[in-house]
Structure 1
Amino acid sequence: MGESANASFDPQDFLAKVGRGKTISTYRKDQIVFAQGEVADTIFYIQRGRVKVVVLSDQGKEAVVGILEPGQFFGEGCLNGHSLRISTTTAMEECVITSIMKTAMLTALHSEPKFSELFMAYLLTRNSRIEEDLIDQLFNSSEKRLARLLLLLAHFGKEGSPKPIDIDVSQETLAEMIGTTRSRVSFFMNKFRKLGLISYNGKIEVHNSMLNAVLHDKPEIKRDEETNSA
């Protein structure tokens, strides 16, 4: 029996259950969900865990372009004419992911307004995040970009207290994501710790003082950036 439009349709229930054109899989840490260059005919939705998005250049250089969290879709480029994957996605921890065939996704989008609204909200939020990241790259110092990235990974701005960053994010990955070197990230991280903005206890813990430093652009951050970029 198909999943047709009805008043009781629940988008989250739709994404959480196996159905026509849908499967749910568990991925172990470091397992590839899809690889760059593979045929693109499926959209994915993260129920649990986080996924890293990496792009490989023609010269063989890798660049981390994003970290995806529960509640996010990925691989939706196939809906817009991309026949091949343009990136590689890898589980950063154990993940539960719903995969939806392109035909099933299009059917749901066309027949279920509630699902269409949820997917559109995701696209709008993602585009806003891309614009914010672009502005950061153009106008903010690498130190401030790192601070903002740590705040995002710690879920600042969401309901509840900030969470320790419990995924294995190396300094190399952080450097790639903010467009600087690993040595610069190491320098900034040590500085953040000395200033009491973060702490290490097996996991990176980001304190409220980090948010204040970013919002108010504390002078010591600015002075340090000017000194080290000279």
Structure 2
Amino acid sequence: MNHCDIPCKESLEAMRAPSGAAASTPEIERLSQLLTQAPLFNGLSAVEVARIAKGVREIKVPKGEILFHRGDACTGFHLILSGQIKLAFTSADGNEKVVEILRPGQTFGEAVMFMDKPYVVMAQALTEAQLLHIGKQIFFDELAVDPLFCRKIIAGLSQRLHRLMADVESYSLRSGRDRIIGYLLREEEIRADDTPPEGRVSIRLPTSKGTIASRLNLTQEHFSRILHELTNNGLIEVEGRTIHIPDIARLRDSLG
């Protein structure tokens, strides 16, 4: 087989270009604009984004709605435009273990889509949310012609694997106290756009304390007890779901 036997990106795009141009509609343009809000699609041309937009549908879900259950078939993956989504395992007796709390710009469902397996977790909206569902086949078609896009997907999956490994390390080697302090510091970094904050700061917890406790592999009682201890030590002040940190440098230095 020589190189002419292998379809290259230019030839595949040429074969698909006429139908792609004719199919452009105001709805495709609107969905393309929504797709470009996500870092995953940065660097793609308008034509490439428009091709993907043909396999996209917008989903608006109220707080508490379940997007899918464990065992449901996976037909694509989701991109969060606004709101928060919880991924969790649920036992037969109703106990729940939160795996991830996802925010705008993040995606989920790629791994099971690539494996052609059903979902292994359930997904639920923690707040009112707006998402895009990107269909599996249109996505695979784009991967076939764009190596850079492939690398972006692999990088995203690798980052998620790295986070999960960090979670295992934290659950195994770090105390509950250090897990909570680490979580608060990460929340502040996100809020401050990765600029190291100084002095007094306030953090609004993105969801309920019970959900965060499950995410940190703690019971809600243990979570509350640690917050109480940190309050008694003058490291934090709790006001509902708002955590005030009088001196974030001191909290950072208190990590074990």
TM-score tier after normalising by the smaller chain length: 0.7 to 0.9
What RMSD in Å do the two structures reach over aligned CA positions?
3.1
- Residue 228 of structure 1 corresponds to none
Q: Are 1:176 and 2:219 an aligned pair?
A: no
Structure 2 Cα separation of the partners of residues 202 and 17 of structure 1: 46
Q: Select 1:107's aligned residue among 141, 149, 154.
A: 141
Percent of matched pairs sharing the same residue = 22
Describe the SS at the equivalent of 1:83.
coil
- Residue 126 of structure 1 corresponds to 160
Compare 128-137 and 108-117 and name the one that shifted more.
108-117
TM norm structure 2 = 0.70
Report the count of equivalent residues. Answer: 212
- 2:52, 2:142 within 8 Å by CA — same for their partners in 1? no
- Residue 87 of structure 1 corresponds to 121
- 2:54, 2:138 within 8 Å by CA — same for their partners in 1? yes
Compare 154-163 and 44-53 and name the one that shifted more.
154-163
TM-aligned CA distance change 1:120 to 1:126, over 3 Å: same
Unpaired stretches in structure 2, ≥5 consecutive residues: 1-18, 22-35
State the one-letter code of the partner of 1:2: G
* 1:44-77, Cα deviation, whole Å (9 max, x unpaired): 1112121111112345432111111122111113
- Residue 2 of structure 1 corresponds to 20
Structure 1 Cα separation of the partners of residues 237 and 251 of structure 2: 15
State the one-letter code of the partner of 2:171: Q
Structure 1 Cα separation of the partners of residues 144 and 174 of structure 2: 41
TM norm structure 1 = 0.77
Unpaired stretches in structure 1, ≥5 consecutive residues: 4-9, 219-230
TM-aligned CA distance change 1:16 to 1:95, over 3 Å: farther
- 1:49, 1:94 within 8 Å by CA — same for their partners in 2? yes
- Residue 68 of structure 1 corresponds to 102
State the one-letter code of the partner of 1:159: D
